Amino acid sequence: MAIPKVLRGPEKLEVSGPKVIKTFHLFGMKINFTETVILEWIVMAVILLTAFLLTRNLKVRGTSKRQAIAEMAVEAITGLVRDTMGRRWLWFTPYIATVFCFSIFGSLISLFGVRSVTSDFSVLLTWAAITFVLITATKIRCGGVKGYLKGFGDPIPVMLPINVLSEISTPTAMALRHFGNIAGGSIIMGLIYYGLANLSHMIRLQVPLLTVGIPAALSLYFDLFSDFMQAFIFIMLTMVFISNAGPSEDAA
């Protein structure tokens, strides 16, 4: 399931999913190799290259501007994890930083005219599933398997179905929240561009001048501010859910 890609033009507005490059059949299941997979590898390469360039030839004294940027980024994400989850959960910092960077780079790749990685629901559901595994592992680690299973019956056994449903809905809700906002922004921008292109055609402009300035200004929100906000909200939910799965720092 993927958010539709908006094909813009004065005649029609078409909405479609990610392009399927190759289809495989494995154990009777149909597996599609889509453009999302290629874009994910491109995003990973960009992140790795950026990390390499920022952390190359680090020095204790006489640091460069490049190293200063890297140190500021590390301190910022470490401080965020410490303030949100507590010092005992600082070892989650690499995971939180990875998800945050992947979300931002995966969304902003749309500025180059391709589909954003985060517009594919399967990508976000995978991130949420990993978070769900970490939440479950933390609960079992802190309370044991018996304590984890017993928690489904709290505060009274009749709450068992509701607690099970709440547990399962956690990753789905996280993925849908991110996906819905990215989907909404993409569709709104497509409708605006489509409307302005047709308006230019109606007033008989040889060049669709109305599609030049207004969409670019609105993209500052939908493609920049909104993408950063969704990435931030996703990692905040991740940190809150994981830290709540174990005892507080004071109780540890």
Claim: this prediction has a pTM higher than 0.85: no
CA neighbours closer than 13 Å in the CB half-sphere of residue 47: 19
CA dist 58 and 12 (Å) reads 53
> For residue 208, what pLDDT is reported?
59
CA dist 171 and 127 (Å) reads 8
Other CB atoms within a 10 A radius of the CB of residue 116 amount to 26
- Of 37, 45, 188, nearest to 114 by C-alpha is 37
> For residue 86, what pLDDT is reported?
86
Strand partners, 34: 20
Q: Which long-range contacts (CB under 8 A, 24 or more apart) does 224-228 make?
A: 224/108, 226/181, 226/182, 226/185, 227/103, 227/104, 227/107, 227/108, 227/116, 227/118, 227/182, 228/104
- Of 238, 228, 192, nearest to 212 by C-alpha is 192
Q: What is the pLDDT along the chain (252 residues), one digit of tens a residue?
A: 334 444 444 445 566 677 888 887 878 788 777 888 899 999 999 999 998 888 888 787 767 888 888 889 999 999 999 999 888 889 999 999 999 999 888 888 877 777 888 888 888 888 888 888 988 888 888 888 888 888 787 777 787 888 888 888 888 888 888 888 777 777 777 777 777 777 777 776 665 556 666 666 666 666 677 778 888 988 998 898 888 877 665 544
- DSSP letters, 197-248, are HHHHHHTT-SS-THHHHHHHHHHIIIIIIHHHHHHHHHHHHHHHHHHHTS--
Enter the tokens of residue 231.
């990435």
Q: Which helix H or strand E contains 149, and what residues bound it?
A: helix 121-151
Burial class (CB in 10 A: 0-12, 13-18, 19+), 131: buried
